[in-house]
Structure formats: C-alpha cells, structure tokens
Structure 1
Amino acid sequence: MMKKLMGLVLSAVLLTGALAGCTGTSAGNNVTSTPETTPAVMETTTPAASSGTEAAWPRTYVDELKREIILEKKPEKVALLFFRNFEHMFLLEEGPAAATEVNMLDEWASLTPFKEKYDIADIGSMRGPNIEKLLETEPDLIIMFSGLYETYGEELEKIAPVITVAANENNWKGALGGYGEIFGKEEKAESEISRIETLIADSKEQLADYSDKTFGVIMLGDKQFWAFTTQFVFNEENGLGLNPPENYVDMGTKGEEITLEALAGMNPDYIFVADINGSSTTLEKYLKDLESNSVWNSLDAVKNGNMHALDSSIVAGGPLGIELGVRTIMENLLD
C-alpha cells in the first residue's frame, strides 16, 4: 500500500509524467448554457443546489482535451477517476458515487473528515479502474485525468459521458471553478475560492515578522529528501510569501530529490516536513530514524525546535490541502 501511495504522490507532484502528461490549461470558464432555441437538446432548467441561483440545463462543457460534453442535467452519480480532485467535489458538497484511490480518504488529513459523510464505491486505481465495479454504480458522469484518456477513455464513454481534467498543480482556483460549472454551483465555487484567498492573505499579513527568516518544505521518504517550492508557501502574490533559503530549488511546485548534506547547506531557519508516502505514522518513523543523524541534528531548524510536520496533501495543490497547510503553518509559528 505504501509503495502504491508513494507512486501516486510522486505522480501528483511531478506532473504525472508517466501518465502521458497533460496540457496544463485552466479548468475554468468551460461551460456554456445551451440556448433554449437550440433544437438539438432539451429545453430545461434545474435549480443549482447550494448556489442560490438557477443553472441552465442542458449545458455544454469543454473539457481539458477540448472535447464538448453535453450535460443534460445536473450530475447526480459521478465516478471520479482522479484522486486529486476529491477536494474540489467535497468543497462543493458533492460526493462521488464511485472513485479510484478511495484509500486516500484514510491517508490525507484534508480528506478524512469526508470519509463517513459519503458512501463511495471503491473502483481501484485510476491507472486501471475496475470496469465491472464501475458499471455496478451506474454513473451518469465520469471524470478522469486527461493524460489517461487515450488508455481507456473511449471504453468509459460506453458507460457514461466522460469529462477529462488536467493536473492543475498551479491552478486550484481554475479547477474548482470548473467543477462549479459541472455541477451548476458557480457561486459556491467562487465563495470557496474567496474564502481561501482571504485566509491566505490574512495569514500572510500576520507572518510579516518572519520576513527575515527562511523556510524549507521537505518531503521525507526512506533515506530520501525531496525539496519543494510549494506555491502557497513561497508565492509572493498568491501565497504566504515566505522566503526559501538561498540556492533553494526552483521548479514550480514539483519536487527535486536532494541530499541531506544539500539541505544542511541551505540550512533554513524553519523546516516543514511531510511524508512522501502520505502516512503520519511513517513520518514519525522517518523522524525517529533521523534523531541520531549528526547532519540532521546540525540543522538550525532542528536545533531550535523549528521543525514541524505538514500533511502530505499539500503536494497535490488542492484547495483543502492548501487550507490545511496554511492553518498548520500558522498554528506552529504563532502559537
């Protein structure tokens, strides 16, 4: 299980390169309501749940691969074949009827509050979903990662309409907006985007006293150290604007494996660590193993008690993981 999860997390961080890549375009502004004068589709409208407005159905959604998908009505039984988008659906109060990588609800703290709220059928891995179990759920919409469409997307279309989505590491707002359009909850999506943006902006203001300090975000594995330039931590315009140490890796939100000696050379004032396998139990083991390591103990952050844990969901760049990451950083720095 841990090896499988490690592969998933690395895929999330490294643009899922092994899965045929993605185009990286925004998921937002993809829906157009079908005019009532169009004879080819039904003329109907359905109230948009939780939005306070009415959403027009049918509507046409242009997905990541520029395919036009007609949604005859608000999707009610969605099969989600991209674990990184659990957060977007949950924020819109939509639970998938079926999903791949359901185990992530046990592994990521950003997702665990929703485990008991929704009854989600486990259909295996997004790299090879269980089609038989998927059929049993009778979905009215399937959402999948665009990089895998050529592998089995056409097979899925025999079951239900298929929408493809991008990795969206740097575009959680566009992705959330896209899901708002799929479910007719545009206002709800905009409200959640505004709420998280406000949290980030307010937190950044409170951290002004740390402008002369440096920070590192490190994913730990079995004798592995991955340095990340996580956007919500370091981005000056849209994040907390914290300072990475000099010569810190420069690669967007992707990770780069470094040596412990390289980390010691950077020597950030504060270090936030997460487990690349996604398990807090395993993180505790890695940190325990490092207790006797002289290089690790030479780090200023370790010596001064300024090393803190983050949930592994931060690497996926989703809205709930970002919110949890910001709140965790604030709790550790200001308490």
Structure 2
Amino acid sequence: MKFKWIGFSAAAILSLGLAGCGGEETSGNTKQAEKSAQTETKTDEAKSENQTITYLNEQYEIPANPEKIVAASLEAMEDAAILGVKPIGAVTIGGELPSYLAEDLAGAESIGEKTQPNYETMLQMKPDVILGTSKYKPEVAEQLNKVATMVPVSHISTDWQDNLRLMAELTGKQDDAEDIISKYENDVTAAKEEIGDLLNDKKVVIIRVRAGNMYLYPSNVYLNPVLYEDLGIGVPAEVEAAQAQEALSLEQFAEMNPDYVFLQFEESENADKPKALDELQENAIFKSVNAVKNGHVFVNAVDPLAQGGTAWSKTKFLEAATESLAN
C-alpha cells in the first residue's frame, strides 16, 4: 500500500511538472493565437476599407470613400469641375492650372505638366486614387500605379457618361451626375428644335489648329459627337473618312468648302507658330470657302483646351454651337 502511494505521488508530481511546462507553452500559444487573430482582424479591417469599382468593364481596388483624389488628366479635371469636386492634385500647363478650370479647381497642387506627371510629387501627396487618361503610354501608367491605383479615364467622346459616373461614384455625387446627364439630353432636344431644318444640306466641321496645321477628327472623336450624333447634323464625307486626327491642307479645306466652321486654336499647342491663326485667316484660299465668306467661322466657341469627350466639354459646346448655328 505504501509502495502504491509513493508511485501515485511520483506520477502526480510528474503530471504537475508537465502541467507547469504545458502552462508556459499554452500561454505562449495563446499569445501567438491572439497576435494572429489581431493580424487577421487588421487585415479584414483593411479589406473592409477598400472597395472594388467597375469602370468600362475593368475592376479597380481603391480605398472606400477616397478623400485624396489626383486628377492626372484634363478629362478627369473637367469631370471634377462640373461636379464640384476638389482634387488634391491636377496637371498644369506652363506651370499653371488651365485658365478655364482654374477657378473650379482652385487649391489643387500641380503634379506636373499634362504630358509629364511628377511621380515624386504624387508620392508625397499619398493619394487614394489617381484618375489618369487612356492616352498614357504603358510606362507612364505603370509608374503611376506604383503610387496608387490609377484609373485610365477614357478620352473617347462616347464614354463621357461612364467617365462622369466614375467621378461621381468616387465622391458620392451620383445624383448630381444623373442630373447633369438628364439636363444635357433635355438641352439637346431643345437645341434640335431651335435649329430646325436650317442646316439641311449644310456642311458643318470642327477644325483644330495644332503646330500651325489644320486637323479634323472622325465623327465620334473630340467635339464632333455633339454635332453629328446629338444634333443629328449630316457628317461630311471628309470627316466620315477620317480614321484619327488627320492633317488637312488648305487646298483640301477649300475643296471641302464647309458652310460652318468651328475653329479651335490654343496658344500652347502652337508655341512654335504663334501667328498661325492670323496667317490662316488672312490666307486667300481660306477666305474662298463659304463659311468664311458668310461670316460662319467661329473661333474658340468653347475653350480650345476643352477635351471634347467630357460632360463639361459637351455641355459648353452644345450651348455655343446652338447659339452659333441657330442664327
């Protein structure tokens, strides 16, 4: 009996010893488990602070309720302006915000010129999202995505509603965006009624002077959709044939012989030929076309830097075109 008691005591002591060691191990495991749980919680919280947005059938992960938006393209800047959004950064031209957007985007810090964004400046800003442009070269897009998720805002005019809704979704201004779209559609209807049949069998074109040369665009590019899709004006054969931005000689222009011309001239796009517009307007061949002879050439009816395929551009140009064409 005594032997059995001693054996029991030894077993008990051994058990207690193991329990003590196990207690230390259990405590360590508990702490490790708690630490892992905290890490997982933080990860889950981080995930919950992000959102996935879909834009033109592509998905982008960005912070939920982004407050620090960089408008790294004129397209994004125009959408910000019309929606009353204040981006923390925007592109500049000659070191300054474009004059036609300067008031609406006052306070935005320069991120560099529109063709040369400054990555270091944006890194310091720590943006939640960068709204760039689909015109970026792949290497530029790659660098920007290292700063923050970069959404390549489409420069295609027919994507204007998707572009506007993108900005609205990021900033909680969905109702404002729908109001802008609805108003534009109503204004188009009113404009068509005002213009009536005045433009039947008339050629209406938009010409852009860049680097001293005249260019025209396809019917679905730049400001053209306002004329040819929204207002239903006939598309000239020369515009129909254009595949992209195409140079137009004076002789070709005269042969086209348009009845109405919207002539866009921006100084920064003609830095090497600042007198190109004056020289064009004084040219005898230019003066020979119907639009010039009848006083139907409208220079910079909308700001020459207007990108064309945005709600801002379309709204402003529709107003100007209606006023010019209805008289």
Q: CA deviation at 1:279?
A: 7.1
Work out whether residues 211 and 270 of structure 2, in 8 Å CA contact, stay in contact via their aligned partners in 1. no
Q: Which residue of 2 aligns with 1:177?
A: 165
**Identity rate of aligned residues, in percent?**
25
Contact between 1:219 and 1:225, CA under 8 Å: does it hold in 2?
Answer: yes
Question: Which of the numbers 233, 257, 261 marks the counterpart of 2:227?
Answer: 233
Cα drift, residue 284 of structure 1: 8.9
In 2, Cα distance between the equivalents of 1:93 and 1:264?
43
CA contact (8 A) 1:227 1:258 kept: yes
2:87 is matched with which residue? 96
Residue 295 of structure 1 deviates from its aligned partner by 0.9
Q: Which range moves more in the overlay, 220-229 or 142-151?
A: 142-151
Counterpart code for 1:216: V
Aligned equivalent of 1:79: 70
Q: Are residues 1:59 and 2:51 paired?
A: yes
Q: Which has the larger radius of gyration?
A: 2
Which residue matches 1:332? 324
Q: Aligned-pair distance for 1:105? A: 7.0
Question: Conserved in 2, the CA contact under 8 Å of 1:296 and 1:302?
Answer: yes
Classify 1:104/1:175 alpha carbon distance in 2 versus 1 (closer, same or farther; 3 Å): farther
Pick the aligned partner of 1:260 from 237, 242, 250. Answer: 250
Indicate conservation of the 8 Å contact 1:98/1:123, yes or no.
yes
1:218 equivalent in structure 2: 207
SS in 2 for 1:60: strand
Q: Point out the structure with the larger helix share.
A: 2
| Cα offset, 1:283, TM superposition | 10
Unaligned 5+ runs, structure 1? 1-38, 45-56
Instruction: Confirm or deny: 8 A CA contact 1:83 1:101 kept in the other structure.
Output: no
Matched residue SS, 1:220: strand
Shift of residue 221, structure 1, vs aligned partner: 3.4
Q: 1:140 aligns with which of 104, 128, 132?
A: 128
TM-score (norm 1): 0.71
Q: Any unmatched runs of 5+ in structure 2?
A: 1-42
Question: Displacement of 1:129 after TM fit?
Answer: 2.2
Give the C-alpha shift of residue 58 in structure 1. Answer: 5.3
1: CA distance between counterparts of 2:216 and 2:137? 31
Q: In 1, distance between residues paired with 2:322 and 2:95?
A: 25
1:194 aligns with 2:185: no
Which moved further from structure 2: 98-107 or 191-200? 98-107
Quote the offset at 1:299 in angstroms: 0.6
- Between the aligned partners of 2:114 and 2:97, the Cα distance in structure 1 is 17
User: Which residue, out of 192, 196, 207, partners 1:208?
Assistant: 196
Cα deviation for residue 148 of structure 1 reads 4.1
Higher relative contact order (CA 8 A, sep 6+): 1
Identify if the C-alpha distance between structure 1 residues 68 and 222 changes in structure 2 by more than 3 Å, giving closer, same or farther.
Answer: closer
Question: How far 1:165 sits from its partner (Å)?
Answer: 3.0
CA gap of 1:250–1:333, structure 2 versus 1, over 3 A, is closer
Count residues with an aligned counterpart: 277
Where does residue 165 of structure 1 map in the other structure? 153
